[in-house]
């Protein structure tokens, strides 16, 4: 079983202390494991389970469900090609074949220079602009063989992908970080002054006054 580094273990303990249920810390700790070990294989999953005190199958279910966790060594540029039905209909297999021919590797493999790796993934929410591919965290859509070649050339030359990245994603990445304005202070509800309490009449005032007309008749 693999062992977390001291720094990674300390960071993981921080995640565990942050949530009321330790299972809630699983995803960030999986990211931490991937950063510490390079990828998440069976031994890394066991290390996560041991650190968190949860069952290995719980770790396996999460790590194998999300394609953001890698289970084999990946290259500096990790190419994740969507193989969902929509992208497949729009030509994803042709794009994948072109990538394999250009790089000389199969899916789930890494080039000898460790620069590129290829992986098939499920839907990446770009069905309307497929075929689509992630290059690390950059999204490229409407893929063609020519666009794939341009991506590979820029990666080899150490250049930013620039306009090749889907425009919506590019705008988000280039947008300045701003903080929302603080909300206006809450208005204090207006309350009317309470009426002063009514004084209770004194005990002697409660007695009925004698009838003056009866006194006159007596006279």
Mean pLDDT of 56-69: 92
**Closest by alpha carbon to 122, among 73, 85, 91?**
85
CATH 3.40.30.10 maps onto the chain at 77-174
| pLDDT for the residue 172 | 57
Mean pLDDT of 176-197: 68
Mean pLDDT of 128-156: 94
| pLDDT for the residue 77 | 95
Among 11-15, 45-49, 180-184, name the one with the lowest average pLDDT. Answer: 180-184
pTM of the model: 0.66
pLDDT higher than 60, residue 171: no
| pLDDT for the residue 168 | 60
Alpha helices in 53-89 (DSSP H): 56-65, 85-89
What number of other Cβ atoms are within 10 A of residue 117's Cβ?
Answer: 22
CATH 1.10.10 maps onto the chain at 6-65
Which residues, other chains included, contact 37 with Cβ-Cβ below 8 Å and sequence gap of 6+? 2, 44, 47
Q: Which helix (H) or strand (E) holds 130?
A: none
pLDDT higher than 90, residue 57: yes
| pLDDT for the residue 166 | 80
CA angle 9, 10, 14 (to 5 degrees): 115
| pLDDT for the residue 169 | 56
Q: Higher-confidence residue: 195 or 5?
A: 5
Q: Residue 16: phi, psi to the nearest 5?
A: -65, -35
77-174: which CATH topology?
Answer: Glutaredoxin (3.40.30)
Q: Which of the following CATH numbers is that of domain 6-65: 2.10.25, 1.10.10, 1.10.1200, 3.40.50?
A: 1.10.10
- In angstroms, rounded to a whole number, what is the distance separating the alpha carbons of residues 62 and 206? 81
Output the 3-class SS for 167-219: HHHHHHHHCCCCCCCCCCCCCCCCCCCCCCCCCCCCHHHCCCCCCHHHHHHHC
């Amino acid at each position: 079983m693999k062992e977390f580094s001291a720094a990674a273990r300390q960071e993981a303990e921080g995640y565990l202390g942050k949530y009321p249920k330790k299972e809630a810390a699983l995803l960030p700790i999986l990211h931490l494991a991937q950063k510490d070990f390079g990828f998440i294989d069976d031994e890394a999953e066991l290390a996560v389970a041991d650190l968190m005190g949860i069952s290995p199958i719980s770790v396996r279910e999460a790590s194998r469900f999300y394609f953001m966790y890698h289970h084999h060594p990946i290259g500096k540029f990790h190419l994740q090609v969507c193989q969902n039905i929509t992208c497949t209909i729009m030509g994803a297999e042709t794009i994948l074949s072109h990538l394999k021919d250009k790089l000389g590797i199969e899916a789930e493999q890494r080039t000898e220079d460790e620069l590129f790796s290829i992986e098939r993934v499920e839907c990446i929410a770009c069905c309307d602009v497929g075929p689509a591919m992630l290059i690390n965290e950059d999204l490229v859509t409407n893929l063609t063989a020519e666009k794939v070649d341009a991506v590979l050339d820029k990666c080899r030359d150490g250049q930013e992908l620039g306009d090749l990245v889907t425009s919506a994603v590019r705008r988000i990445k280039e947008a300045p970080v701003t903080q929302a304005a603080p909300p206006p202070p809450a208005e204090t509800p207006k309350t009317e002054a309470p009426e002063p309490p009514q004084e209770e009449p004194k005990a002697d005032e409660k007695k009925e006054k004698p009838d003056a007309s009866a006194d006159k008749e007596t006279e």
